[in-house]
């Protein structure tokens, strides 16, 4: 039984969208009719059909041409006025129309969350007056939503970027949507946003740009093929779709091809449209639209009695601001980079969802969940780093893993705690080490030592090692496990990437050596225990193979170690099968010994899957501690 | 002497007790508050887990949506190309390639939206223009762009031209 969610709604002039906090992350609520080309928003259209149906969103937009007199768009421009829509002999206020849009959002949200939604935060333009704000709240009421707060759109966008947490600055929000430009200058300080000035253009946006691109394609095609596609409805439809796609594509690539085979046909045969559109050409095409942004921009600064140097933060909102040319325009004019990282089409609804979560008590100061910036692990046999807690794990967290000894009669182990991304222990930062002593003498691989890493909410790491056989335990506390500076963290992560190949080789070398080593151990053990059951020829073969692996180890020739180890394995299994062929009684006794062979072998390579938590017993990681001489 | 000192000691003790009781009450409230928060957090986590499982299901169902959406223009190209091919062998061959592709996509749940001759439905069709003619109003008289559904979800509506029957329309409004 959770608390009721408060959703955040960006109720836009041409498009609307809603978001909600899910598991601590703002998530966009998908529209039931599916997404448009540009994103997850749906068009703010409401229509009444002749047969009495109410259509909202995409379906309403689709029938606009056939039913213009009963299709309403941009009701937001009329909200708070006494405008009345007369449709099919009935009257509707702008609040009611907005209410239909909100009701659809409520329905979509309920379908998405699987629970009832009755509370919402709705965003409004900063310049909305009291009438417009009250009317927006009423629209919510009509839709069955309790509007717990209205938030200014630029404030919501700033909140999406976390600008409401600390500091004092002047923010410029540049909101270029499908058909409207809003420029807002705000001041943040003492926990509140104050609007200093607003300006804009109610008929400027991305649609203008699409038209410019379409016109260019049509003109070019006419030049090349002497055919005017503007007269061919099917061709116009294909070209318009291609134009919008090309515009969106050019935000990420420098050049795109508009390819429409058989776009049109003449007496001479079919005509193909194949045009290259570069980003610079696109920028040239949309320049008239961009130029029209200058005036509202300058006006806002003037009204706020500020110069561009007074602005400390720039936030971009709306699909067209994804275009590099728009970003460059604004950044050049203000002389500072815009905030990045959040989809400009989503940041208003995300900010509203964050505000909703704060009001609903979902976000409190009590638990600010943090993550470990780097991987934490311990040093294991051969100087290999075995990770216990992977980087970017949300804390608090606790992970344990069972390790064992590397040598026979080893009575103490050293736990060397490491932080970093490199696979070899020596390349990581050492956070400290301690010894667990008093392990009862036993053959290697038998003792079970559980190592636990426990990071609390403040990033303090508790490391403990416990011998499961005797219950002996040793602990250590590391307070600086997450306190590295961002630069250090980045440096370490970069280094890890840089040395990836080299590190992989070194780790492989160690692994090959470890496998060879443990196989020799198993082979020698098998020989000494089963000497009487093996014929002299096989014993000789095994011994020769052991010597060969040892020699290869001496030489430190990795390829040779690998091949000799393989050879030893083959010889060993040969010896194994020979033993199996003997009496049934002997068989059962020998089976146990045989099992030890492959187990040790596979355990050696298991280290690669280091960070995973393993259950006790069967998945003991082999031979992981350095031998420690007791003093 | 004891009487002199007894009184202040008693008062002090009483004060201390009061103080401790107050602290205890505060701590109890805090503990309850935290426990409550923890419960909410647990519930939230549980809900999130359920939601993400559901989400995983829908991601799998519609995993191919974006790819198939991008491939629709190729189907358009084929449909445009076929009538223009003069050589019969070519037409047959290209037609086979096209049919093969349609079949493969159909296996993933893609189906064209039928529209010609039917009544306009904004759930599936988008009107680009109207034409005055003898047909009944709202009848689709031309398909300008083909629409598609992927497992019953409209991924591209049909772009259509619909009939506008002047006299009929008035009749409808009166009725």
| Domain ranges (residues) in chain A | 6-161, 187-341, 370-500, 505-612
Q: Are residues B31 and B100 in the same domain?
A: no
Q: What is the DSSP letter of A627?
A: B
Q: Are residues B10 and B73 in the same domain?
A: no
Taking 3-state DSSP, the helix, strand and coil percentages for chain A, each rounded to the nearest 5, stand at: 45, 25, 30
Q: State the Cα–Cα distance between residues A18 and A109, nearest whole angstrom.
A: 8
Cβ contact (<8 Å) for B122 and A260? no
Residues 109-148 of B with CB under 8 A from A: 120, 122-123, 125-130, 138, 142, 144-145
Q: State the Cα–Cα distance between residues B68 and B61, nearest whole angstrom.
A: 13
Catalytic residue among A108, A138, A175, A379: A175
Q: Give the architecture-level CATH label for domain A370-500.
A: Sandwich (2.60)
Contact A179, A289 (CB under 8 A): no
A153 is catalytic: yes
pLDDT at A582: 66
Contact A463, A539 (CB under 8 A): no
Q: State the Cα–Cα distance between residues A213 and A158, nearest whole angstrom.
A: 32
Query: Does the CB of A33 have a partner CB in chain B at under 8 Å?
Result: yes
Taking only the tens place, the pLDDT of each residue in A534-547 is 778 888 888 888 88
Contact A422, A499 (CB under 8 A): yes
Residue B3: count of CB within 10 angstroms of its CB? 6
pLDDT at A599: 39
Q: Are residues B38 and B93 in the same domain?
A: no
Among A1, A62, A233, whose Cβ lies nearest the Cβ of B125?
A62
What three-state secondary structure class fits B153? strand
The residue out of B15, B39, B61 marking a domain boundary is: B61
Q: Are residues B71 and B151 in the same domain?
A: yes
Cβ contact (<8 Å) for A262 and B81? yes
Q: What is the pTM of this model?
A: 0.67
Q: State the Cα–Cα distance between residues B98 and A347, nearest whole angstrom.
A: 42
CATH number for the domain running over A187-341? 3.90.640.10
Residues 558-617 of A with CB under 8 A from B: none
CA nearest to A198, candidates A188, A186, A180: A186
Q: Map tokens 């449709």 to a residue.
A: A87
Residue A216: count of CB within 10 angstroms of its CB? 19
Question: What is the distance between the terminal CA atoms of chain B, rounded to a whole angstrom?
Answer: 108
A362 is catalytic: no
Q: Is the ipTM of this complex over 0.85?
A: no
Q: Is B141 exposed, middle or buried (0-12, 13-18, 19+ CB in 10 A)?
A: middle
Query: Does the CB of A237 have a partner CB in chain B at under 8 Å?
Result: yes
Give the residues across from B160 on adjacent strands.
B127, B143
Q: Are residues B57 and B135 in the same domain?
A: no
Taking only the tens place, the pLDDT of each residue in B109-122 is 999 999 888 899 99
DSSP string, A67-106: -GGGEEE-GGGTTTS---EEETTEEE-HHHHHHHHHHHHH
Number of domains in chain B: 2
Q: What is the DSSP letter of A138?
A: H
Q: Put the strands of the sheet holding B125-132 in their side by side order.
A: B125-132, B158-164, B140-145
Query: Residue A573 to residues A61, A532, B86: CA-CA distances in angstroms?
Result: 74, 17, 70
Contact A515, A604 (CB under 8 A): yes
Cβ contact (<8 Å) for A2 and B40? yes
Number of H helices, E strands in chain A: 15, 27
Query: Does the CB of A191 have a partner CB in chain B at under 8 Å?
Result: no
Element (H, E) at A594: helix A584-606
* Tokens read off for A405: 């000894």
Contact A512, A562 (CB under 8 A): yes
Q: Are residues B167 and B111 in the same domain?
A: yes
* Tokens read off for A630: 């007791």
Q: Give the architecture-level CATH label for domain A505-612.
A: Up-down Bundle (1.20)
Cβ contact (<8 Å) for B77 and A366? no
Tell me phi and psi for residue A422, to 5 degrees. Answer: -85, 145
A76 is catalytic: yes
Q: State the Cα–Cα distance between residues B6 and A290, nearest whole angstrom.
A: 87
Residue of B nearest to A55 (CA): B122
A488 is catalytic: no
The H-assigned helical ranges of chain B are 2-61, 65-84, 88-107, 166-174
Among B44, B45, B138, whose Cβ lies nearest the Cβ of A66?
B138
Q: Map tokens 């909600």 to a residue.
A: A20
Q: Are residues B126 and B46 in the same domain?
A: no
The residue out of B36, B61, B86 marking a domain boundary is: B61
Q: Put the strands of the sheet holding A397-403 in their side by side order.
A: A397-403, A449-455, A461-467, A473-478
pLDDT at A370: 62
* Tokens read off for A16: 């609307």
pLDDT at A526: 80
Catalytic residue among A76, A391, A507, A541: A76
Tell me phi and psi for residue A566, to 5 degrees. Answer: -60, -45
Q: Are residues B70 and B136 in the same domain?
A: yes
Q: State the Cα–Cα distance between residues A14 and A41, nearest whole angstrom.
A: 10
Q: State the Cα–Cα distance between residues B103 and B113, nearest whole angstrom.
A: 15
CATH number for the domain running over A6-161? 3.30.420.40
Contacts of A384 (CB under 8 A, 6+ apart): A423, A424, A425, A507, A510, A511, A607
Query: Does the CB of B162 have a partner CB in chain A at under 8 Å?
Result: yes
Query: Residue A35 to residues A56, A184, A274: CA-CA distances in angstroms?
Result: 14, 28, 28
Range of the domain at B37: 1-61
* Tokens read off for A517: 């080593």
Query: Does the CB of B55 have a partner CB in chain A at under 8 Å?
Result: no
Query: Does the CB of A111 have a partner CB in chain B at under 8 Å?
Result: no
* Tokens read off for A494: 């970069």
The H-assigned helical ranges of B62-131 are 65-84, 88-107
Taking only the tens place, the pLDDT of each residue in A39-80 is 578 999 999 988 888 999 999 999 988 888 899 998 999 999
Q: Are residues B89 and B151 in the same domain?
A: yes
Q: What value, to the nearest 5°, has the Cα angle with vertex A322 and ends A317 and A328?
A: 95
Residue of B nearest to A261 (CA): B77
Higher pLDDT, B171 or A152: A152
Shortest Cα distance from A10 to chain B (angstroms)? 23
Shortest Cα distance from B2 to chain A (angstroms)? 50
Q: Map tokens 């003790």 to a residue.
A: B13
Residues in chain A with pLDDT < 70? 1-3, 34-39, 362-371, 457-458, 480-486, 582-631
Q: State the Cα–Cα distance between residues A503 and A89, nearest whole angstrom.
A: 77
Q: State the Cα–Cα distance between residues B168 and A2, nearest whole angstrom.
A: 55
């Amino acid at each position: 039984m959770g608390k009721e969610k408060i959703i955040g709604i960006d109720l836009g002039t041409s498009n609307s969208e809603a978001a909600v906090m899910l598991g601590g992350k703002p998530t966009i609520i998908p529209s039931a009719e599916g997404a448009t080309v540009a994103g997850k928003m749906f068009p703010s259209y409401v229509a009444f059909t002749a047969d009495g149906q109410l259509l909202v969103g995409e379906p309403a937009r689709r029938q606009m041409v056939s039913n213009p007199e009963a299709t309403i768009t941009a009701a937001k421009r009329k909200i708070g006025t006494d405008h009345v829509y007369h449709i099919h002999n009935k009257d509707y206020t702008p609040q009611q129309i907005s209410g239909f849009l909100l009701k659809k959002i409520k329905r979509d949200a309920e379908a998405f969350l699987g629970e009832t939604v009755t509370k919402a935060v709705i965003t409004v333009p900063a310049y909305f007056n009291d009438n417009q704000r009250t009317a927006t709240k009423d629209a919510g009421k009509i839709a069955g939503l309790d509007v717990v707060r209205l938030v200014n759109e630029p404030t919501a966008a700033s909140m999406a970027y976390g600008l409401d947490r600390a500091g004092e600055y002047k923010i410029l929000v540049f909101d270029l949507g499908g058909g409207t430009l809003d420029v807002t200058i705000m001041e943040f300080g003492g926990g509140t946003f104050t609007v200093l000035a607003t300006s804009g253009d109610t008929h400027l946006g991305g649609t203008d740009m699409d038209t410019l691109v379409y016109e260019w394609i049509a003109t070019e095609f006419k030049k090349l093929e002497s055919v005017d596609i503007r007269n061919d409805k099917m061709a116009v439809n294909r070209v318009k779709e291609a134009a919008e796609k090309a515009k969106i594509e050019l935000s990420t690539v420098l050049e795109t091809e508009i390819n429409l085979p058989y776009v049109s046909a003449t007496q001479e045969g079919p005509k193909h449209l194949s045009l290259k559109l570069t980003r610079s050409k696109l920028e040239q095409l949309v320049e008239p639209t961009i130029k029209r942004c200058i005036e509202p921009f300058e006006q806002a600064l003037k009204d706020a009695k500020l110069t561009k140097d007074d602005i400390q933060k720039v936030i971009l909102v709306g699909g067209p601001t994804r275009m590099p040319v728009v970003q460059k325009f604004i950044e050049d004019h203000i002389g500072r980079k815009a905030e990045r990282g959040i989809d400009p089409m989503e940041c208003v609804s995300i900010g509203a969802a964050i505000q909703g979560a704060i009001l609903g008590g979902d976000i409190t100061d009590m638990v600010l969940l943090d993550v470990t910036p780097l991987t934490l692990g311990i040093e294991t046999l051969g100087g290999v780093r075995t990770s216990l807690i992977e980087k970017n794990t949300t804390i608090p967290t606790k992970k344990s893993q069972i390790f064992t000894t590397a040598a026979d009669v080893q009575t103490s182990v050293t736990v060397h705690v490491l932080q970093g991304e490199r696979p070899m222990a020596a390349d990581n930062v050492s956070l400290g080490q301690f010894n667990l002593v008093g392990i009862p003498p036993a053959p290697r691989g038998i003792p079970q030592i559980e190592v636990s890493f426990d990071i609390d909410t403040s990033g303090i790491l508790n490391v403990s090692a416990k011998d499961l056989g005797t219950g002996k335990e040793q602990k250590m506390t590391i307070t600086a496990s997450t306190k590295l500076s961002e630069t250090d963290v980045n440096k370490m992560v970069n280094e890890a990437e840089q040395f990836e190949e080299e590190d992989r080789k070194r780790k492989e070398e160690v692994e090959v050596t470890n496998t060879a080593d443990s196989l020799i151990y198993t082979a020698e053990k098998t020989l000494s225990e089963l000497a009487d059951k093996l014929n002299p020829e096989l014993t000789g073969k095994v011994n020769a193979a052991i010597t060969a692996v040892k020699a290869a180890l001496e030489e430190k020739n990795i390829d040779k170690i690998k091949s000799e180890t393989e050879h030893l394995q083959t010889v060993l299994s040969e010896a194994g099968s020979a033993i199996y062929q003997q009496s049934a009684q002997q068989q059962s006794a020998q089976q146990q010994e045989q099992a030890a062979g492959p187990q040790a072998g596979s355990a050696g390579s298991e280290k690669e899957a280091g960070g995973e938590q393993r259950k006790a017993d069967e998945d003991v990681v082999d031979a992981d501690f350095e031998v420690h001489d007791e003093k | 002497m004891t009487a002199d000192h007894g009184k202040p000691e008693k008062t002090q003790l009483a004060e201390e007790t009061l103080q401790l009781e107050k602290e205890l009450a505060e701590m109890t409230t805090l503990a309850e508050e935290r426990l409550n928060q923890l419960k909410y957090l647990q519930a939230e986590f549980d809900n999130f887990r359920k939601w993400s499982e559901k989400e995983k299901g829908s991601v799998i169902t519609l995993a191919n949506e974006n790819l198939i959406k991008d491939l629709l223009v190729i189907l358009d190209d084929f449909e445009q190309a076929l009538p223009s091919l003069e050589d019969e062998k070519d037409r047959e061959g290209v037609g086979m390639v096209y049919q093969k592709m349609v079949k493969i996509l159909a296996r993933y749940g893609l189906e064209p939206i039928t529209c010609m001759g039917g009544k306009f439905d904004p759930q599936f069709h988008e009107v680009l223009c109207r034409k005055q003619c003898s047909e009944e109003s709202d009848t689709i008289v031309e398909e300008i762009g083909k629409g598609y559904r992927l497992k019953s979800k409209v991924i591209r509506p049909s772009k259509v031209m619909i009939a506008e029957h002047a006299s009929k329309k008035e009749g409808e409004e009166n009725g």
